[in-house]
Amino acid sequence: MPAAFVYRAPLRASVSLLALLCAPAALAEEVAPEMPEVVISTGRETADGPVQGYRAKRSASATKTDTALIDTPQTVTVVPKAVLEDVGASTAAKALDYVPGMAKGNTFGGLNTYDSIMRGFRTSISARNGFTASRRFDASTDAANVERVEVLLGPSAQIYGRSDPGGMYNIVTKKPLAENFIEAKGEFGSYDAYRGTADANAIVSADRSVLARFNLAVEDKESFRDHVSSQRRLLAPTISWQGSGETRAIMELEYLHDERTFDRGVVAVNGDVKALPTNRFLGDTNDGRIKMDNLMGALRLEHDLNADWTLRSQLMAKNGSLYGFATEARTLNSTTGILARRTNLRDYYWNAGSTQLEAVGHFSTLGIGHTLLSGVEMELSQSTERLTYGNATSINIWSPSYGATRPALTAGSTNTYDSTHKYAVYVQDQVDLTKALQLQLGLRWDTYDQHNEQRHLQIQMNQSRSAFSPRAGILYKVTPALSTYANVSKSFNKNPDVPFTDISGKMIEPEKSLGLEAGVKTDLLDDALSVTAAIYRIVKNDASVTDPDNTSYARTSGKVRSRGFDLNVTGNITPEWRVTGGYAYVDAEILQDPLLARGSNLQNIPMHSIPLLSVYEFQAGELAGLGLGGGVTYVGKRAVTDGSTVYLPEYAKVDLLAYYKIDDRAKFSLNVSNLLDKGYYSSALSTVRVMPGEPRTVLGSVSVKF
């Protein structure tokens, strides 16, 4: 298939979808009467809608059915929009900061959340509205169009297919509401940060069957890192249609343009990651910014056959591109302070199209209740990655000089094309054996055909693989507000996001994992506060990592294991006081590896971490509308690479926030991150790629709703 067609086909589909989204709004100008009074839709919480404060009670991420969290035999943490607003988040990744069991991984030069670490295993896989949506180089999801982020800890391949065993997260986007409003927000802060967002919702048709919502974000900012800056633009229209009551549809489009300086951070000198100032930039000012574009279109249809059975179909098309220069660290001479670097030009693009057809039904057999989910899924993904690089350059880390003439990019290049067709069939049964005893049984079968071309080497490879992903869970409700559970599940990951081949040219085999989890869930304070505690053990076989002797290739490291405990608390202690956070203990180590000793630590994983966010909002009296709060984050020491004796030091960070609401129409906010100006390091890719954390930063904002 010609590259031009590969790149543009999803773009044409998405543009067509944009035309569909815009058409009803245009027609509404002719048929809709004068705008009705604002009507706020109320009713029971849904699995993908707004929640009250921090307390979500239902989710569909773990089961693809609207299920109460206390009835889900897995650790699921829902981070609602209110958390993102309270902490002044600009990306959805900020939601992960207060989830126990999460740690920061490779940020791909600061361009995105390339990977997160969940229960000891790194992952770059996430979902969007129930679709596995992430690609290796997608820009970070903007928070302006996010309703909630739902974190699933433990293997979830039975629902989502290929995934890492530590977990994944599902981003639930904003949906149109049955009210008319426009909300505008302006933010400004340290390092010349400016951001503006708009959220407009409208009742389009007179019978309120057609609703529309449009989200916009514009952002420009510098950085505490010298010579580093970024900007982004977001456009996200969504339209929903409610038919006669039996049929529903929702269409959405999202376009995100993101530019930022590629920044690998600082270097460790003789094992000391604190040797350089945290603002020291080791790239080159001539490189400019990396430019990324992401375009996504989706359509979801639902039809109720009767009161018990629903059919639904989902379609999603997306593409993306990344282009720009980056001068990156290679090796350091610690004696002279000379850092060898290489200038790279990346020209990447990718696209994917996927569809799901599912049936959900409720029925009873012999007095036993069932919620049955069955579905089929198809996906086509294609990517082309061209990397061109020049001869080695250098910089003195103690006295850097920038702006030298860029070397000619004649030292070498790579050109990789990859195409994968995936098909899956899955079934899940949530069984109510009694009012107290529940089972969850599921099985998924995935098959894929992968074609990979190493065009610079004139090598073509193909492989076809299939995998079964079973899951079984049991849950016992001691009381309506207290349940205990256990689950066992298997997962696989086709070609993790390391190079696809080993040094011999053989394609890497899929990773396979087995996870065990047991826990307890309780709802306290009249169902306003949720507490989940769980222990787990996960073993991954055929783990794949980048070959340290030649980073253009991968190798199979053998077997790794993670075991631990996490405690999650989230919700509203009182109507005024909301909290989220907890504690995580993670013991992750190598069990078998041809190069590293048994018991070696894994990269970027703290054994102990404590995230906690607490906010109090006065509801009455002279201080009504005033909110005060803050967050405390403790992260233990972490190895900079698998098996390394060099560690990122432990740290504790304090954040503060305050806001004041005026008649629910206007809100003034102030956020102070890293109040004590604590120096810390958030993650590392190697000893010459260590990412410092932000020093004290201040962010102010004003929002108005009308």
Q: What is the DSSP code string of 65-97?
A: S-EEGGG-SS-EEEEEHHHHHHTT-SBGGGGGG
In Å, how far are 98, 115, 265, 290, 321 from 108, measured between CA atoms? 22, 8, 11, 11, 15
For 380, the enclosing helix (H) or strand (E) is: strand 368-389
For 31, the enclosing helix (H) or strand (E) is: helix 3-31
Contact 578, 631 (CB under 8 A): no
Q: For the chain, how big is the Rg over CA atoms in Å?
A: 25
In this predicted structure, what is the pLDDT of residue 34?
Answer: 36
In Å, how far are 126, 248, 444, 468 from 427, measured between CA atoms? 21, 23, 7, 12
Positions in the chain whose pLDDT score sits under 50: 1-42
In sign, the C-alpha dihedral spanning 373, 55, 211, 95 is: negative
Residue 29: both structure tokens together: 């100008």
In this structure, the number of other CB atoms found within 10 A of the CB of residue 693 comes to 20
Q: Which long-range contacts (CB under 8 A, 24 or more apart) does 362-370 make?
A: 362/308, 362/309, 363/308, 368/431, 368/432, 368/433, 369/431, 369/432, 370/429, 370/430, 370/431, 370/432
Give the chain's end-to-end CA distance (angstroms, integer): 50
H-helix segments, 597-685: none
Strands (E), 573-650: 577-592, 608-617, 626-635, 638-639, 647-648
Residues 6+ apart with CB under 8 A from 547: 499, 502, 503, 553, 554, 555
H-helix segments, 136-249: 157-160
For 477, the enclosing helix (H) or strand (E) is: strand 459-479
Q: Which residues pair with 188 in a beta bridge?
A: 194, 700
In this predicted structure, what is the pLDDT of residue 112?
Answer: 80
In this structure, the number of other CB atoms found within 10 A of the CB of residue 133 comes to 20
Using DSSP, state whether 287 is helix, strand or coil: helix
Amino acid found at 506: K
pLDDT tens profile 365-404: 999 999 999 999 999 999 999 999 999 999 999 999 999 8
Q: What angle do CA 50, 54, 57 make, to 5 degrees?
A: 65
In this predicted structure, what is the pLDDT of residue 21?
Answer: 34
- Dihedral through CA 188, CA 189, CA 192, CA 197, nearest 10? -30
Q: Which long-range contacts (CB under 8 A, 24 or more apart) does 588-591 make?
A: 588/120, 588/121, 588/560, 588/561, 588/562, 588/563, 588/564, 589/560, 589/561, 589/562, 590/557, 590/558, 590/559, 590/560, 590/642, 590/643, 591/539, 591/558, 591/559, 591/560, 591/561
Residue 461: both structure tokens together: 């490879």
Q: What angle do CA 580, 582, 584 make, to 5 degrees?
A: 145
The Cα 103–Cα 689 span in angstroms is 17
Contact 123, 136 (CB under 8 A): no
How much of the chain is in helix, strand and coil states, percent to nearest 5? 10, 55, 35
Q: Which residues pair with 649 in a beta bridge?
A: none
Q: What is the pTM of this model?
A: 0.89
Residues 6+ apart with CB under 8 A from 442: 158, 159, 426, 427, 428, 429, 470, 471, 472
Residue 293: both structure tokens together: 């574009």
Contact 704, 666 (CB under 8 A): yes
Residues 6+ apart with CB under 8 A from 538: 119, 120, 121, 154, 155, 165, 166, 513, 514, 515, 516, 561, 562, 563
Residues 6+ apart with CB under 8 A from 533: 519, 520, 565, 566, 567, 568
In this predicted structure, what is the pLDDT of residue 503?
Answer: 67
Contact 195, 90 (CB under 8 A): yes
The Cα 609–Cα 102 span in angstroms is 9
The Cα 375–Cα 443 span in angstroms is 11
The Cα 121–Cα 126 span in angstroms is 14
In this predicted structure, what is the pLDDT of residue 142?
Answer: 95
Domains of the chain: 3-705 (2.40.170.20)
Residue 6: both structure tokens together: 């590969």
Amino acid found at 540: K
Contact 675, 655 (CB under 8 A): yes
Q: Which of 606, 602, 605 has its CA nearest to residue 593?
A: 602
Contact 198, 219 (CB under 8 A): no
